[in-house]
């Protein structure tokens, strides 16, 4: 081979190596160009971001999780104060937690044990913009990874994981073992007056009458445990059908007004039905209907203790007739 031809062959080999990589190297370079990336997971101390990519390796889905740990921002004495001054804790939660129930994008948020965790998932530019994630949406994998490197954020490529995709919106707020599913429910329950609960009005022979105080001056009295039905040991006819004694509490309207900080006036017009009937023909009963509260204007006056944990009666008392099983409120 002449020197000239040899130089031409060497030149062609050099061109092949430089431009295409030739044979195996060419295939490797084509793979690097066409490789589809699955998911990129990036973390720092308080935030987690996971990116989903389309076939062109551009971001089409972003999972973002942020953690606000009260232990990192408040001292032990301040945290102890939050247990006493609960309105301060409610303000912090209300301000920091994302209202996922009313969010237009996919979202989960929670509070438990001094930690507020917000998680969102966006799959379009508008939702990304609403969550200040628009700088990442549509960005190519290589550019994104380089950007995270410059921001000193650790990232790793992972397989697709549903853990980093949210498909339903929910809120879970756990305070001292009680769970709320919205900020409104939390604020209502924890800001409601201390007497918004159920109390025992009276108790005889293991049976209880209760009252529950509610908003707008409404209350509910329940005497149904004192409903009774029994045989009085007599018969109503020659066939010895039994005479039965029946008592039934029919309910009524219950309302209350606050006379002072701990003095309440309760109005209850509930009635009970009591009488005898023959078990063979129950429609011929000799029942009478009477008021539960035998005081003018159906008034029950109570005095709470300073913690609204219990109360006493100031204008009468509950009476129980063991023979008939009737419970009534009467003058002292």
Distance CA 72, CA 77 (A): 13
CB atoms within 10 A of CB 1: 8
Average pLDDT over all residues of the chain: 87
Q: Can you read off the two tokens belonging to residue 213?
A: 């105080």
Distance CA 325, CA 66 (A): 61
Model confidence pLDDT, tens digit, residues 15-69: 343 434 444 454 444 444 456 788 999 998 889 999 999 999 999 999 999 999 9
Model confidence pLDDT, tens digit, residues 231-249: 888 888 888 888 888 999 9
pLDDT at position 174 over 90? yes
Residue 108: HSE in the Cβ half-sphere, 13 Å Cα cutoff: 14
| 3-class secondary structure, 51 | strand
Q: What percent of the chain has pLDDT over 70?
A: 88
pLDDT at position 87 over 80? yes
pLDDT at res. 176: 87
Residue 135 pLDDT grade (very low, low, confident, very high; cuts 50, 70, 90): very high
pTM score of the predicted model:
0.63
pLDDT at position 10 over 80? no
pLDDT at res. 284: 58
pLDDT at position 148 over 60? yes
């Amino acid at each position: 081979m002449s020197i000239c031809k040899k130089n031409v062959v060497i030149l062609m080999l050099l061109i092949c190596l430089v431009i295409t990589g030739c044979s195996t190297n060419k295939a490797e370079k084509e793979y690097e160009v066409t490789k589809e990336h699955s998911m990129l997971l990036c973390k720092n101390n308080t935030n987690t971001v996971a990116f989903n990519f389309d076939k062109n390796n551009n971001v089409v889905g972003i999972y973002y999780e942020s953690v606000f740990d009260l232990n990192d921002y408040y001292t032990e004495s301040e945290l102890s104060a939050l247990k006493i001054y609960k309105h301060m804790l409610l303000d912090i939660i209300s301000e920091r937690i994302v209202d996922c129930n009313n969010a237009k994008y996919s979202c989960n948020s929670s509070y438990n044990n001094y930690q507020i965790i917000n998680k969102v998932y966006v799959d379009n530019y508008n939702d990304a913009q609403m969550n200040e994630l628009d700088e990442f949406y549509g960005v190519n994998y290589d550019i994104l990874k380089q950007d995270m490197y410059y921001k000193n954020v650790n990232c790793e490529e992972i397989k697709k994981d549903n853990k980093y995709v949210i498909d339903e919106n929910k809120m879970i707020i756990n305070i001292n073992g009680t769970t709320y599913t919205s900020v409104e429910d939390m604020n209502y329950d924890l800001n409601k007056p201390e007497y918004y609960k159920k109390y025992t009005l009276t108790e005889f022979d293991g049976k209880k009458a209760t009252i529950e105080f509610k908003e707008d001056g409404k209350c509910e009295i329940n005497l149904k445990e004192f409903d009774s039905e029994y045989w009085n040991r007599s018969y109503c006819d020659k066939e010895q059908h039994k005479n039965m004694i029946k008592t039934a509490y029919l309910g009524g309207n219950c309302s209350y007004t606050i006379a002072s900080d701990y003095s309440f006036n309760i109005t209850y017009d509930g009635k009970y039905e009591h009488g005898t009937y023959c078990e063979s023909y129950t429609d011929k009963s000799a029942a009478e209907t009477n008021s539960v509260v035998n005081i003018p204007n159906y008034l029950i006056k109570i005095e709470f203790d300073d913690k609204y944990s219990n109360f006493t009666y100031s204008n009468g008392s509950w009476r129980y007739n063991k023979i008939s099983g009737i419970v009534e409120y009467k003058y002292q």
